[in-house]
């Protein structure tokens, strides 16, 4: 994992402590539906079913999405067990995380939906 990916995970931990994270697929879906999600982060090893639950809601919304680490990495970053998806609910945190991720496209991180 690159240093920028580690920085992004650290920022997610800080956002969690600040109360700016919706943790898990169901909470992420609720944040998307109520408009509070500023960024959706999916684990690279999330099951297709979990991905589709989230990506289906994002299909016609402008909410940025990113893939970062595996479920264990994502969960550990926010002080939790493995999670497939999280939503960052504060724009300032979302912008900082996206800033780290957008520089890492070749390192396995994507700041837009995978094709």
Q: What is the pLDDT of residues 68-110, one digit of tens each?
A: 999 999 999 999 999 999 999 999 999 999 998 875 443 444 4
Full-model pTM: 0.86
Report, as an integer, the average pLDDT of 47-61.
94
Distances (CA, A) of 12 to 23, 37, 52, 56, 59: 11, 14, 22, 23, 24
113 located within any domain? no
114 located within any domain? no
115 located within any domain? no
111 located within any domain? no
110 located within any domain? no
CATH number for 60:
3.30.1330.30
Report, as an integer, the average pLDDT of 9-33.
97
What is the span of the domain harbouring residue 57?
A: 3-105
Distances (CA, A) of 105 to 21, 23, 27: 23, 24, 27
pLDDT > 50? residue 7 = yes
36 located within any domain? yes
Q: What is the tally of structural domains in the chain?
A: 1
């Amino acid at each position: 994992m690159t240093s920028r990916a580690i920085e992004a995970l650290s920022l997610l931990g800080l956002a969690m402590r600040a109360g700016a994270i919706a943790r898990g697929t169901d909470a992420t879906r609720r944040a998307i539906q109520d408009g509070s999600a500023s960024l959706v982060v999916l684990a690279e090893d999330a099951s297709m079913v979990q991905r589709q639950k989230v990506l289906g809601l994002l299909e016609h919304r402008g909410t940025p999405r990113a893939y970062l680490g595996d479920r264990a990495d994502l969960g550990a970053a926010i002080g939790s067990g493995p999670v497939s998806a999280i939503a960052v609910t504060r724009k300032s945190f979302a912008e900082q995380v996206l800033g780290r991720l957008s520089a890492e496209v070749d390192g396995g991180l994507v700041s837009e939906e995978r094709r």
